[in-house]
Amino acid sequence: MLAIVAEVFREHGYEGASLSLIGEATGLGKGSLYHFFPGGKEEMARAVIAHIDGWFEDNVFGPLRDSTDPLAGVERMIEATDSYFRSGRRVCLIGAFALDESRDLFAGQIRSYFGRWVTHLADALARSGHRPGEASELAEEAVAAIQGTLTLARAANDLDVFSRALRRLRMRLGVPAKT
């Protein structure tokens, strides 16, 4: 349900995702939509962001934080990223929201999401032996690389762009290449 709404926002952006599109995609009328989300479109978007945030908490930030082998956590992050973004076919909704005016509405959630991604990754890299400052920079570079690659992959309509980027990412972060 939230996943379907997320897909509509992902495809059309916050402004472009009209209630009729959302209703059509979910099979729900406005009555139901406003029953579950009395706050309307903004509340839907907020719930969708929270849902995505939860997924990343479980599948990305968690492993980064909890893996005893920090590099194994990084590898799990990369695999989760690859599967979530469908090797570049999918776009990062939160990244897209960060770019346009909807940023102002969701600034807190957006900042928190990217902030935690970078700090958890930096922590893992520091535990894997990088100097703290270097770990921070590497983490920031890695998250930016993923976001930028999503843009590039969409622009070029080329799936290889994304897999190449993940390969470079493993190299830069010191994760053994996948066999």
Partner DNA sequence: GACTCATTGTACCGATCGGTACAATCTGGG
Partner DNA sequence: CCCAGATTGTACCGATCGGTACAATGAGTC
> Residues interacting with DNA, by CB under 7 A?
17-21, 28-32, 34-36, 38, 40-42
- Secondary element (H or E) of residue 120: helix 102-127
Which of residues 156, 159, 176, 178 is near its own copies by CB under 8 A?
156
Closer to DNA by Cβ: residue 21 or 98: 21
Site membership for its own copies, residue 90 (CB under 8 A): no
Closest CA to 89 of 10, 166, 153, 3: 153
Instruction: Report the partner that residue 19 touches, choosing among DNA, its own copies, none (CB closer than 5 to 8 A by kind).
Output: DNA
Structure tokens given for 141: 């570079």
Which of residues 1, 3, 4, 144 is near its own copies by CB under 8 A?
144
CA distance 123 to 93: 25
- Tokens 């992959």 sit on residue: 153
Closer to DNA by Cβ: residue 34 or 84: 34
- Tokens 């406005």 sit on residue: 30
Which of residues 46, 51, 65, 103 is near its own copies by CB under 8 A?
103
What part of residues 40-59 is at the interface with its own copies (CB under 8 A)? none
Closest CA to 114 of 125, 98, 100: 98
Structure tokens given for 77: 């992050």
Piece of the chain touching its own copies by CB under 8 A; list 23-31, 40-48, 54-62, 95-103: 95-103
